[in-house]
Each structure stands twice: as structure tokens, then as C-alpha cells.
């Protein structure tokens, strides 16, 4: 055994301690995944070496045959996994095996509940990686040397998975990493060739390099021990290069878990080979759950990029737009050069063509999911709906296609779920309806009870209810769908077109003319607080509402801009009143201008509250209301 020098004991990062404890206690029902995770990491290490060796062939150190070996020792109760990939330096080992430098770690830890069953799903969503070794081992040793470093700079890492680990410098002749698992007494089933072979075939058959196990050999008494021979137990070919008809669903699912470091099966996938002007293979997946860093737009994202089966880049973001950042997968091109960089990808016209085709492929996959598996699509929408709403602004070419995938709450469904598609909305529209009506607001409770919906309820017209913070911004990029324009029912002068009879329109004109005197009095009373006063065609039960000017920012956008410290352009609402409401009748008959002004301001403030806005002067509102209550009680 090599002499150890520079030995030191270090403590795990707090998050690692939590993760280790949870994995050991939560994943006991699926212990065998430890081998899948370690093989996946070894495969990544080999891919990285292959890529770095393109520009520095000396890193191969004369050994270009890349592979992973898994062995076991029944007597010592160990399982050993070895790769001849890129390896790790002492600094790499301390960084990668002592901390979790993963985007979303804080959110992950915050979401842990202490319920082992629930937490096991979260752990799988986060990715278990190297630490899964402690599910079956009570001690783990790692021997590694980074390619290009001298043999004297090997490193030995050791831990019992509790609070600390040891690191020492050792002699290591070969580059790469060897992991030795000292199995717990109850886990001796894994020190068995047949068991290991089955796990590798089940989880890692798709790994595109040989995974070798020792051949079983019979020792003959009196003869020297035979030289150890190895046999490849996996298919060792790139799964995405195989014909679709030859790949089983289980293989697609396991390959997803390998590239995404996910624990759950994907919702859907699309495997495609393109030939002609461009030649490439793609295999794209829709995850079942959102990652913790989904809303961190700067977080690493993208597809694994291969060029002629050689791994070139992890998380190549140039192949899909930002709103599809949750998609996982592989793209393997025959047209790009092996020394391609992120900068080159951003400028290469080949990439633009591939990006356009891959984006359409993802949208087609989602359309198919929505059509054939509506329940699964509901789950997808809950996880990724807000990100999909970024699409119309980013991807003008596919705006109609993205709009077809959007889901909304509506007045036709009391559940408040975002489950109504635009196609469904139009299919059940009223005869003569040529618009898609919607209302934005802060919460479902607020918008479903909004006075703006009163005339729509009376006429049986469905209205989409939009309550996500992004919705008003989204609608500024959606002008129409299937030839039908969108109308914000709280904006401008409501025109129901053919849904209003000629008698209705004539009656509205007459009422407006009859109330001209009241309109002038209200204008004088409300002054600079409003841009206009008019008779409302929206109301049936409420006395008054505030409408937004056609070109003005809505409440949602104003709040977002104000929260981010941006200057918001000045705008004033339109005050609309219901001429048939008893309060308006009393207001019209009020002789005292002072009292008229007080009552007008109370109605204005109530309308602002009903719209979800905050009052500019709450104390004045309370004072006026209290004064009115005193008068009524006298």
C-alpha cells in the first residue's frame, strides 16, 4: 500500500450531512441505485477526459482504451468501481466530495419535510450522485489522480458518512478514480457477480463505453492462478444512435435518469434522426418535476452535445430557447467541429437551423402529451406552466403553437385550476363571439368575484381568469389566437360586438345621454383622481368599477415594475358607474355638493379595492366611511 502524506481530517458541509442522513434513511427501499449513480459519474469522468484530450492528447497517458470496471470481494465484503477518466486532484476531491456546489441547494434543503417517503422524492429530484454509496456502505474510500498530474499526486479520500472525511496524498500510477465500498453487514448481497451484472444491465446498459466485470474462472488445484480476465456486460453503444424500434421504454427511462441525474421517469421523450442538409441525432426528454433552480434564469441549462459520438459539452444552451430550459437530452451532430466552443455555437448558422427544428420537436412532443395524456399534461403545466408563458415573447415564430399549449382558469370551472386551453374556450364560445375575453388579477378569489365579470355572467359568456404575476406581460405579446383577438374585460370601453343586441346598444346610448348631468358632477367631485367618468355597460349588481385606459399599464405590471424599482408612467383610471344601482340613484338625488363629493370618493375607493388595488389614502377612506355610518345611525 502506498505511503500516505499530507493527511488531514475535514468536516462535511452542513448540507452534505443532511443529505447523507436523509439518503441512508429514505432510500433504503431502492438501494441498488447506488451502482447506477456511481457508474453515471464514472461515465461523465470518461466523457470529460475524451473531450479534454482532443486538444491535449498527452492526457491519455498512452492509454486510449476508456472503460469502467466493477469488481467485488466476498471475503472482504467490498465492491470496487474504477474508471480511467479525467480523475480528480486533491482540491477537486475536497470540493466535489465535501460540498454540494449545486444551484438550488438552499431551496432543496428548505423543502425537506422530515417525512422520509416525501423526502425520498425530493432527494431523487435533486440528484443523489456520489453520496448514494453510503446507502449500502458504512465506509467509502476514493483513490484518484487527475490526468496530467504526476503519479505522486494521487489522492486518497475516506469517510464513514458521518460528520467528517480524511484526505491524504498517495502514489497512484494510473489516472482516473477507484471507489471502494465497504459494505454494511446487511448488504453483502451486492458482493456478488450475478447481482452486480443484473443491476448494470437494468440501469446502465445504455452507457456508451464498456462496463466490465471479472470473468468467473475456475482455479485448478496444482496449477498457477489464472490471469484475471474481464468481460463487458453492457451494450456499450450510444443509445441515441440506435433505431427507435430497437430501444425499449425502460432503456429510454434509464438513459434519462443518467443524463438528468433524476430519480423519476420522464413524462415524455422524442428520439429523432435527421439526414439531408444537416445530419444529427437528438433525444429530448420532458421531466416529470421541475428542478429547484427553474426560475433562476442564469442557472446552467441545455443539452449534452456530442460531435460524431464524442462528448463535447455539457449543458449546451444554444439548441433550445430559454423558455424550454427544463428540457433534458442529447444532441449528436455530424456537421460541427470537435473543437466547437460556446462562443462559436452562438454564431454558427447550423445551430440556428438545429435550434429551430429542436424547438418545434419539443412543442410537438408537448402537443402530443396534451392530446393523448391530458392528466399527465396537467401535472406538466403545474410544474412548468409559468416558464412556458415566457414563450410568446421569446419565440415569435412559434407563438401560435405555444399559445395552444397554454392553460388558464376560467369562469366555467369553479375549481380555479389552470386547465382550460384556448381551443376549448373557443369551441364552447357563444354564437357570434369573435373575441377571447380575459381578466388579470392578484388571486383567483379576487378575479372570480370581480364586478368586471357581472355582464359576462348575465350573458353566459366565459372569461379566462389570469392570476400569475407574469400574465399581464404575457398578454402584451398575445394579440390573437386562431384569428380571434384577446380582450381585457377591465380595459377600455367594453364592446361585446354581436353579443350585444341592437336594442341593448340603443338603450345604453339613451342611458348615457340621460345621465350626462351626473357624469359632470362626478367629474368635478373626483377631479384628478380619474381620467374619465362614464356609464358602465359591464355592471349588473355593483355600483361602480374602475377601468384601465387602452394604452395604460394594468395593475399587475405596475406592481411588478414598482417592486423592481422602475419608474412607472402616470395613468389615471376610468370611473364607470351602474345607473340602475340604488346607491347611484341616491347619489344622483343628493343636493349637498359636499356630501356628494364624500360619497363619490367612497365609491371610487371601493371600486379600487374591488380591482385589487391599494388605496392611496386609506385614512381618508376610513374617515369618510365612519362619517357616513354615524349619519346613518342617527
**Residue 63 belongs to a domain:** yes
pLDDT (0 to 100) of residue 110: 60
The pairs formed by 192-198 with CB atoms below 8 angstroms and a separation of 24 or more are 192/72, 192/74, 193/72, 196/35, 196/70, 196/72, 196/79, 197/233
Output the domain CATH number for residue 34: 3.30.565.10
159 vs 345, which has greater pLDDT? 159
Binding-site residue ranges:
37, 41, 83, 88, 102-104, 125-130, 177, 342
Q: What is the mean pLDDT of the chain?
A: 86
Specify if 99 maps to a domain: yes
CA distances to 409, 436, 467 from 444, in Å: 8, 19, 6
Write the CATH number for 451.
3.40.50.11260
Grid cell listed for 466: 389570469
Sequence-separated (6 or more) residues with CB below 8 Å from residue 183: 77, 78, 79, 136, 137, 138, 190, 191
Q: Is residue 412 part of a domain?
A: yes
Same domain, 200 and 74: yes
Q: Is 566 helix (H, G, I), strand (E, B) or coil?
A: coil
Domain ends where: 382, 414, 442? 382
What is the pTM (predicted TM-score) of this model?
A: 0.76
Can you give the CATH number for the domain in which 523 is found?
1.20.120.790
Of the pLDDT bands very low, low, confident and very high (cuts 50, 70, 90), residue 103 is very low
Residue ranges of the annotated binding site for ATP are 37, 41, 83, 88, 102-104, 125-130, 177, 342
Domain co-membership, 246 together with 131: no
Clarify whether residues 481 and 615 are in a common domain. no
349 and 424 in a single domain? The answer is: no
Mean pLDDT in residue range 243-250: 92
36 and 155 share a domain? yes
Shared domain for 373 and 410, answered yes or no, is: no
Does 226 reside within a domain? no
H or E element: which one contains 581? none
Average pLDDT over residues 156-172: 91
What DSSP string describes 100-165?
A: ---TTHHHHHHH--S-HHHHHHHHHHH--GGGGGGGTEEEEEEEEE-TTS-GGGEEEEEE-SSSEE
Same structural domain for residues 193 and 293? no
Closest CA to 323 of 376, 366, 264, 260: 366
The average pLDDT across 2-28 equals 74
- Domain assignment present for residue 308? The answer is yes
Q: pLDDT by residue (tens digit) across 177-205?
A: 999 999 999 999 999 999 999 999 888 88
205, 251: one domain: no
Nearest alpha-carbon partner for 9 in 172, 230, 162: 162
Q: Same domain, yes or no, for 453 and 526?
A: no
CB atoms within 10 A of CB 58: 9
> Is the domain of 26 the same as that of 155?
yes
Per-residue model confidence (pLDDT) at position 78: 96
Is 168 within 8 Å of 183 (Cβ atoms)?
no
Could you tell me if 209 and 96 lie in one domain?
Answer: yes
Give the count of domains, the chain.
4
| Residues 514, 490 share a domain | no
Cα–Cα distance list, 614 to 34, 544, 559 (Å): 54, 16, 10
pLDDT category at 1 given cuts 50, 70, 90 is: very low
Domain that holds residue 357: 239-382
Amino acid at each position: 500500500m502506498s505511503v500516505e502524506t499530507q493527511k488531514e481530517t475535514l468536516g462535511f458541509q452542513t448540507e452534505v450531512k443532511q443529505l447523507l442522513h436523509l439518503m441512508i434513511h429514505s432510500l433504503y427501499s431502492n438501494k441498488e441505485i447506488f451502482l447506477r449513480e456511481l457508474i453515471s459519474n464514472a461515465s461523465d469522468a470518461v466523457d470529460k477526459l475524451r473531450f479534454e484530450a482532443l486538444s491535449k492528447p498527452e492526457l491519455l497517458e498512452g492509454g486510449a482504451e476508456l472503460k469502467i470496471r466493477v469488481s467485488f470481494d466476498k471475503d472482504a465484503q467490498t465492491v470496487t468501481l474504477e474508471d480511467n477518466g479525467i480523475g480528480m486532484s486533491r482540491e477537486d476531491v475536497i470540493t466535489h466530495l465535501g460540498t454540494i456546489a449545486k444551484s438550488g441547494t438552499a431551496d432543496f434543503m428548505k423543502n425537506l419535510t422530515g417525512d422520509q417517503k416525501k423526502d425520498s422524492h425530493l432527494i431523487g429530484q435533486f440528484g443523489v450522485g456520489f453520496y448514494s454509496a453510503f446507502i449500502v456502505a458504512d465506509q467509502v474510500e476514493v483513490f484518484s489522480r487527475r490526468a496530467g498530474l504526476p503519479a505522486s499526486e494521487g489522492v486518497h479520500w475516506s469517510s464513514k458518512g458521518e460528520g467528517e472525511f480524511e484526505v491524504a496524498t498517495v502514489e497512484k500510477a494510473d489516472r482516473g478514480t477507484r471507489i471502494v465500498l465497504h459494505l454494511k453487514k446487511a448488504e453483502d448481497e451486492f458482493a456478488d457477480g450475478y447481482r452486480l451484472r443484473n443491476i448494470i444491465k437494468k440501469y446502465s446498459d445504455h452507457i456508451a463505453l464498456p462496463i466490465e466485470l471479472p470473468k468467473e474462472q475456475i482455479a485448478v488445484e496444482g496449477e498457477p492462478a489464472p490471469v484475471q480476465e474481464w468481460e463487458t456486460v453492457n451494450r456499450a453503444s450510444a443509445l441515441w444512435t440506435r433505431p427507435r424500434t430497437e430501444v425499449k421504454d425502460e432503456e429510454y427511462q434509464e438513459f434519462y435518469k443518467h443524463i438528468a441525474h433524476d430519480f423519476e421517469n420522464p413524462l415524455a421523450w422524442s428520439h429523432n434522426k435527421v439526414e439531408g442538409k444537416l445530419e444529427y441525432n437528438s433525444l429530448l426528454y420532458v421531466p416529470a418535476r421541475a428542478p429547484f433552480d427553474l426560475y433562476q434564469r442564469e442557472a446552467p441549462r441545455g443539452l449534452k452535445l456530442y460531435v460524431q459520438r464524442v462528448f463535447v459539452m455539457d449543458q449546451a444552451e444554444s439548441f433550445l430557447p430559454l423558455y424550454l430550459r427544463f428540457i433534458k437530452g442529447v444532441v449528436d451532430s455530424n456537421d460541427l467541429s470537435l473543437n466547437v466552443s460556446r462562443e462559436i455555437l452562438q454564431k454558427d448558422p447550423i445551430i440556428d437551423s438545429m435550434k429551430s427544428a429542436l424547438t418545434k420537436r419539443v412543442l410537438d412532443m408537448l402537443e402530443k402529451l396534451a392530446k393523448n395524456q391530458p392528466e399527465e399534461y396537467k401535472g406538466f403545466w403545474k410544474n412548468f406552466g409559468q416558464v412556458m408563458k415566457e414563450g410568446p415573447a421569446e419565440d415569435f415564430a412559434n407563438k401560435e403553437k405555444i399559445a395552444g399549449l397554454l392553460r388558464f382558469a376560467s369562469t366555467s370551472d369553479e375549481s380555479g385550476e389552470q386547465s382550460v386551453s384556448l381551443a376549448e374556450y373557443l369551441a364552447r364560445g357563444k354564437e357570434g363571439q369573435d373575441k377571447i375575453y380575459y381578466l388579470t388579477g392578484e388571486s383567483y378569489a379576487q378575479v372570480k368575484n370581480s364586478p368586471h365579470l357581472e355582464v359576462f355572467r348575465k350573458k353566459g359568456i366565459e372569461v379566462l381568469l389570469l392570476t400569475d404575476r407574469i400574465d399581464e406581460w404575457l398578454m402584451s405579446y398575445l394579440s390573437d389566437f386562431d384569428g380571434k383577438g384577446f380582450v381585457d374585460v377591465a380595459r377600455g370601453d367594453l364592446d361585446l360586438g354581436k353579443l350585444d343586441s341592437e336594442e341593448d346598444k340603443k338603450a345604453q346610448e339613451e342611458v348615457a345621454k340621460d345621465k350626462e348631468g351626473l357624469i359632470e358632477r362626478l367629474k368635478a367631485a373626483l377631479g384628478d383622481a380619474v381620467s374619465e367618468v362614464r356609464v358602465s355597460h359591464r355592471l349588473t349588481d355593483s355600483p361602480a368599477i374602475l377601468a384601465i385606459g387602452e394604452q395604460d399599464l394594468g395593475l399587475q405590471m405596475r406592481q411588478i415594475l414598482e417592486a423592481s424599482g422602475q419608474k412607472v408612467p402616470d395613468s389615471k383610471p376610468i370611473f364607470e358607474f351602474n345607473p340602475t344601482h340604488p346607491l347611484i340613484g341616491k347619489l344622483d338625488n343628493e343636493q349637498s355638493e359636499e356630501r356628494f363629493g364624500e360619497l363619490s370618493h367612497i365609491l371610487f375607493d371601493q371600486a379600487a379595492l374591488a380591482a385589487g388595488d391599494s388605496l392611496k389614502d386609506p385614512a381618508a377612506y376610513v374617515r369618510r366611511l365612519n362619517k357616513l355610518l354615524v349619519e346613518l345611525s342617527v
